[in-house]
Each structure stands twice: as C-alpha cells, then as structure tokens.
Amino acid sequence: MRKIRDELPDLKEWWGELTDVYSKVLQPTVMRLAHNIKALGKLKEQGYNVGELRWKSPREFRRFTYNQSGFELDKKGGQTVLSLSKLADIPIQLHRPVPDDATLKEVTLKKEPTGEWFAIFGIERNCEPPAKPENPEQCVGIDVGILKYAHATDGFAVGSLTLSDERERLEREQRKLSRKEHGSANWETQRQRIAECHQRIKRKRRDFLHRLSAYYAREYDLVAVEDLDVTGMLESPKNSRNTASMAWHTFKQMLEYKCEREGTHFVAVEPEGTTKECASCGVETNKPRWVREHSCPACGF
C-alpha cells in the first residue's frame, strides 16, 4: 500500500487536475483503493467470483477525508464554519458540541443518497477510560433474537424495533418508481424519496441500537453476548430478511466499544451449544426451538 501511495507525484504529472486536490485527501483515497484490491484478492483466493473494480468518475465520488491537516473548525459571523484547504469555507450545523479538551485529528465529508452532506470528525482526548472492576458484581448475559431483541439473564427483555410502517411506505414508493421512465426527472425525484425511506429506517435502527448498547455498558460491570455468525445466517433462505434487519453484528460492535469506554468487561460467547447446555451443571438437553424455557433433567435448574 505504501508503494502505491508513493506513486502520487507521478500520478499528478500524468493527470494535472490532481494538483487541485489537497495532498492529505489524495493519500487516504489511494489507500482505500489499495485496501479494496487487497480485499478482493482475499475473496478470490477463497473461491468467490469477485470481478474487478469499476471506474468511478469524480462526480460519483461520495466521500473524502482530510487527515492531520488541511481543515479548521471556527466561528465566523455567528456561524460554525469548516474551512477545507483548496476547496471552500462551508457553514455547518454541529449536532453535538466538540469537547473543549478534544483535538481534531481528521474530518470525513460524506454524501448520502438523499443528497445531504455530512461532516464526520475524528477527535483525540487526553482522558483514560475508567478501570474495569477486578471482581465484577453486576453481570449480565444477553441472548439476541427476533421476537425479543434482547433477553438478559436478569429477566429483563427488550422487544424488537417495529419498522412495519416504514417498510410498507418503502414498498409503496418502490412500486411508484417502477412506473417511472428510467433516468427522467420524475424518476430521479422518486429515487430520492426511496433513499429518504431507507435513511429513515437506518436512523431508527441505529438510534435503537445506540440506546440499548449504552444501557448495558453503563448499568453492568460485565456484559456477555453471543458471537453470532451473522454472515452465515444471512446465506440461509429462511428468514434472512428479518435476520438482516436485526443488525446483531452492529449491536455487538457498539456494545464492545461502549463497554471499553465505560470501563465494563465485554465477553463474546461462542454460541454453539448455548441453547442445549445447562447454565448450572453443564448437562446438554435437546429441545426444539419453540421451547423458550430451559428445564434441566439432571439438576432441575
């Protein structure tokens, strides 16, 4: 990857318009391309038909990053302005204040399919997370599911997020799109409405996952959750849509970094055998999936 990045000066001579772009923007972009090629190579080694990377024009590029330098966040004329080198001074609205002790390390500009632009800041703070307790007292194990999103060992269950209304609206808008002439102005307007429906579903789901993961990370000393193979479950033809909608992998990622931030132990448990194995004595008991309560014939647990 470093070899590809070192070829940037030669690329600028070959394509003069690259000099109009700040150098710290070009470097992460080249690294992204190298990373994508490397990832495709790994998939090809595993037997997947990966094809090849497609050309993307600058107009279609929807994300770029300034790291270390070339950007500044300041107040000008009563507005918060993001100044980007070789680009522009852009007025922005902060959805949360930047901490006073934070140092801005990078900013990523991203365009959503709805046409909205967002600035995502990477910050560094001089504060250490709280120490994790040596002998955790408040411990909880979480079993994720579809009917109940999370069922904890303390008996607390959280219902799944209801998105049926949003899905019905999305299906209506998709049917309207199918009746438009592809590429027309009406087709583009309808496409943007569908993008807004997708964005609304995505935001509701992520808000639900953020709140739930923050609750477990703050209220307990140790949190254990199943390390599910979601990719393998999505390849199954049964119930794959609901499995994807649950976003269990995203929930586990959020829970892991929030536990690290709050000083809480995080344990990813191998799911094999957890449905059959008794939590008290370890004896395995076969039971169908519709049985939701464990009754151990060995110890009575």
The pLDDT tens digits of the residues spanning 48-106 come to: 888 877 887 877 888 999 988 999 999 888 899 999 999 999 999 999 888 888 999 99
CA-to-CA separations, 27 to 2, 7, 24, 31, 41, in angstroms, rounded: 10, 10, 5, 6, 21
pLDDT at 234: 74
pLDDT at 181: 95
Q: Who contacts 9 (Cβ-Cβ below 8 Å, separation ≥6)?
A: none
* Predicted TM-score of the model (pTM): 0.81
Q: Report the pLDDT averaged over residues 213-222.
A: 95
Residue 189 has which token pair?
């307007």
Q: Report the pLDDT averaged over residues 227-237.
A: 76
The pLDDT tens digits of the residues spanning 265-298 come to: 999 988 877 778 887 888 888 888 677 678 888 8
The pLDDT tens digits of the residues spanning 140-180 come to: 999 888 888 998 988 888 999 999 999 999 999 999 999 99
pLDDT at 292: 67
pLDDT at 37: 85
Beta strand 222-226 pairing with 157-159: unpaired
Confidence of residue 1 (pLDDT cuts 50, 70, 90): low
**pLDDT exceeds cutoff 80 at 5:** no
